[in-house]
Chains A and B, each alone.
Chain A
Amino acid sequence: MARTQPSPLVHDLQAALGIEAVLFEPEDLLPYEFDSSIDRSAPDVVVLPRTTEEVAAAARIAEEHHVPVVPRGSGTGFAGGAVAVMGGLLVVLTRMNAIREIDAANRLAVVEPGVINLDLQDALSSFGLLYAPDPSSQRICTIGGNVGTNSGGPHTLAHGSTVNHVLGLEVVLPGGSVVNLGSRQVDAPGIDLRGLFVGSEGTLGIVTAITVRLIRENEAIRTMLAIFSTVDEASNAVSEVIRRRVVPMAMEMLDQETIRVVEPRVNAGYPLDAGAVLLMEVEGLVEAVDQDSEIVIEACKSQGARDIRIARTAEEREALWEGRKSAIGALGHTAPALYLLDGVVPRSRLPEVLHQVLGLSREYGFKCANMFHAGDGNLHPTVLFDPEEEGATERVLQLGGEIMKLCVDAGGSITGEHGIGTEKREYMDWIFSEADLEAMSSVRLAFDPTGRFNPCKILPTGHGCAQGHFEPIKRKLGPGIYV
């Protein structure tokens, strides 16, 4: 029995989607108040649609009732994108989780937005195919969320981000009309609305189906771990590999702070006395793999690598990756809370920026661990702190801002894959002019004239956004979650 009297909004939603698809009791809303960011705010209603038509009906009803609409996948986003900061209707897409089609001959698949990234990968493996974007959260995040944030992963270095692998999108626009952007083929005519939509963090519409491009598994793959005494050496090795004209599939770095936490828990084989390790992977025809790994090894040695280990079996490869993938989970056990940052610098600036990041963290009195996509220059400084400690959260946020400034000063960006959301709205004018931001507002207006979709996200302006509802929360990521 409902204890809360259903509002007219709830009533209309129930009529369109069925009673069990609509949540509005405060305790039912609780799990939907936050994502993996530090923001928290309750929606007024949550709907769990099963079809495109239901999503469209929900969007129409929200429009009639003049309430904000926030799309949500698994809520693993780090930028607060899936938090209903102005309340309103949260559209949770996790029930739309069918893989509608796998067309192996033409290397494409059509999936609903709630499909978990890894579930798609698993479904493809028997075809010898891959969906390239592999965010470290792939065991829990949705493809819809990946489209929302234009997710990357370790293999982005060679294959690019989500946008490079989305062929077409079915989208419910604000107001409830359904439109197809892109196609089942590459290079559809007209303005690249597909490309514009990917990474728009739920502000331009709700994705209800995604046509993704698949790639064929390679004949051979080699995973290597290069061990260095210092982060500097490891960073220089990254540039050296590229200088020698090899772009590996992945180049991930873990620093000493991370290794010391991860290794005892995971037994990945990272030496505890290493200053940094580089986890690298080359793929292709056997001949290419032999050649490229030789060049990679030489390049690492030239920059002072102490040792280079090569995975001889699939199990060894898994173990090396497990260390990387469990890093954030392992770090979560060492401190009451983590603040995981996401910034990008030109890869040739990695050594100096990493130095500065570590220096700043020391100044602030925090431990900072680094495990990141070194080949892309995509940093993830992870600050360990205790939110119960007086003023700690504020100081961590301040440190985060300063680290972002370092990235900007080095010619980089304030986010490589996690998005702007609410977290980095205020930093947007560090990299964009007023005119740039105004042009971005124009994009938003073209899709959503009333600004009802995911308000207060991405752009630093917005009616009533200034005050925010931001209540830092204490969070620990569970086992099996990794970054």
Chain B
Amino acid sequence: MRLLKKQQLAAKENLDKRVFLEGAAGTGKTTAAIERIKQLIRSGAPAGSILIIVPQATLAAPYHEALKRARVEGAGSVRAATLGGLAVEMLDLFWPLIAEEVGFARPTQRPHFLSLELAQYYMTRFIQPEIERYDLFNSVRIQPNRLYTQILDNLNKAALVGFPHDQIGARLKSAWAGDVEQAAIYDDAQRAADLFRDLCRQYNLLDFSLQVILFVQFLWRREPPRRYLTRRYRHLIVDNIEEDNPAAHDLIADWLPECDSALLIYDREGGFRRFLGADPDDGYRLKALCEVQLELDNDRVMSEEVAAFRYELGRSLGRRVPAEKPNAADARDAIRFADSRYLPQMLDWTADNVRRLIVDEGVSPKEIVILSALLPDALRFALQTRLSERGITSRTHRPSRALREEPAARALIALAKLAHPHWGMPAEKYDTIFALSAAIHDLDLARARLLVETGYKNNQLIPFAQIADPEIQNRVTFELGGRYERLRAWLARYQAGDPQPLDHFFSALFGDVLAQPGFGFHRSPDAAAATANLIDSAREFRQTVSRIEPDLAVAPEYVKMVDQGVIANLYLRDRDPKLRDAVLITPAYAFLMSNMPVDYQFWLNVGSSSWGQRLYQPLTHPYVLSRGWKPGRIWTDADEYATDQEMVYRIVSGLARRCRKRVYIGFSEIGEQGIEQRGAVLTAVQGMLRRLSREAAGV
């Protein structure tokens, strides 16, 4: 790999120093870091003494890929971690050392690490009744899950920024100058946060916020745990500091004097994770702690046309850009712009162009990414359908449905209800029809309905032979009847024995029946993946909940929570290796966080106001709850506008910096809601095109 001089200074030299490397995306910072790691190992540093710290796991992907391929001994085993990952590992090991002093009700018992899913469950189980009892949040109209996420998020912000959690409400209110209703919401947010924190202390529950507090404020300040980390990891590579939070910055600032070397990497135009506590300004202070400070400014990704496009778009967004253009290229050559009236036309245009690139121009599908501000299910589904009609394989960072809506998971839940009549939760008739149809290969919904209409009584399936009407048996066919009978008999045998944990029930049902030849899950990777995810979720639920409340009937509680959409509501991870060479469809944010440039990008629906606009979060505020916020300052509409504009610029500029060849910009005049769209990105692109035409015509 040929490195520029400045990259060399970070990669091959200064190996015993603390180096701060800044620059925009695409200037080769991560490349330099990867080379530095190899060089460290070549110079004798054990791979196990190097730690890569990133704000979120996806940002470590370029390291994993490059180091696994590197022809340097041990490079593939260099570890990457997030603050959260380190916190869990350290608490799991050193809990006995701090258990007495951290004020938990059961210090001699092990703590329970709460996933977001379980944190939401405990919100539902213990905090929701309080919310109802005291009529909290009565003016807020959002789904309970989003309410809980924001309550948890406030606790996280307090932990990450480093203020006591009982100041959340006061901080939010102090920046608010509007109606009393919103101020009351902030009071309620404080109350809910207090309730949840008390609950955690009572039951040794460690949500993300407590994991951070106990790690940073307790373990890190004690000699044995701190020594464990600082002796083990002598060389730090800290990437995307701008996307990390103040707690991580504090930790790194503290660690720097104790390590043998460090490379800290800062993207000047990042800060996309603000809503998760990222604080680019706070991260920048780490620069002063490094002996060597380097800047990279040579872009190594964008073509000249794309660089010109980024520059011109910046001008149109009102940015102060250098007077000198980056090159003589015409920005318009970097883009294709389609002006459609309706969304379906824009999607057709997108799918046609993707097909043309792959089939006619021989572009590798993995060099194409389709981006939108948000990625609602309907949009993703419509796009994937169009692509598959054109023979194009695509993948998404998220599934088309929440886990509980995956057909396999739905079928398993319904069959679980059938197998456990003592829960008193009979499966709905339609769910049973659906479950039979999903479970038995070739059994369509019509015949499944026949079976259920005649053979489903008192939450029990009757044997096929006992279906009195021979006409129905004939229509179902004896072959399918035989499969039905095998499934029914398995469920009956199960019922006759002791009930098993739900995850074990799912596993046995899957292996013994549903995945067998003749059944719906046989050789279906999707069904196997959904079943595996459901089993993981049910197991985690059982193992935590049964330890906290041993008398609770865990299995029906789990099913109830799935039905209510509290559990099994998160996305599935895309792990199918066959899909590595597929067109990626993803929200822009997720793409920016994957740190992998591509040749071609499609920006969908640039008229949408969702590009850059903050999500509606009535209970929290990423700026007011940040470290740099001045107490007493009021958050104004002008602030809102300025931060939105800034974010729009950062997103489009960040996307362009991760594009080598061309950007296809799709726009539909009428948006999903049937309303005309005039979002900031659209306005900027149209303004840019008009201006460039005028300039070209010498007007």
A and B assemble together: no
Q: Enumerate chain B interface residues (CB-CB to A < 8 A).
A: none
Q: Enumerate chain A interface residues (CB-CB to B < 8 A).
A: none
